Amino acid sequence: MELRTLSETYAIARLGADAAVPPWVAGHEFVAVVRSRTELSIVCREDAVPAEHTEVQRAFRCLVVAGTLDFAQTGIIAQLAQPLADAGISIFGISTYDTDHILVRQDDLAQATAALEMAGHTVR
């Protein structure tokens, strides 16, 4: 599988379930806003999240599966998650209509890339 490493550094923020999507949400390559009954999760450019926001994890990089995936394909995330889990690397996965995204801590990016390549994937 071919993956691209996006250039932006990301943060994952948590807000209350009934919070409005804040105006600071920004990104050029990738933004995700997901609401559940218990929270509003936002993945966006790290530098967009206000410094005073306390429920946030910072310094993530995003690897995106190149191309458009067919809904009939199975195991895409598993093929990426397993070698990363074997290497002890935690992930935050997000699927969009077209493709899949894996966020890893910036400090783990080189090790994640190596683990994925050892598993037969191409990372650009």
The pLDDT of residue 108 is above 90:
yes
Beta bridge partners of 36: none
Query: Pick from 24, 23, 39, 3: which is nearest to 123 by CA?
Result: 3
First to last CA, the chain: 11
CATH number, domain of 69, equals 3.30.2130.10
Domain count of the fold of the chain: 1
Indicate the pTM of the whole model.
0.94
Q: What distance in Å separates the CA atoms of residue 44 and residue 32, rounded to the nearest whole number?
A: 7
Q: CA-to-CA distance for 18 and 40, rounded, in angstroms?
A: 7
18-37: pLDDT as tens digits: 999 999 998 889 999 999 99
User: What is the pLDDT at residue 113?
Assistant: 98
pLDDT value, residue 27: 86
CB 40 within 8 A of CB 14: yes
Task: Indicate the pLDDT class of residue 39, thresholds 50, 70 and 90.
Answer: very high
Expressed as residue numbers, the domain containing 108 is 2-123
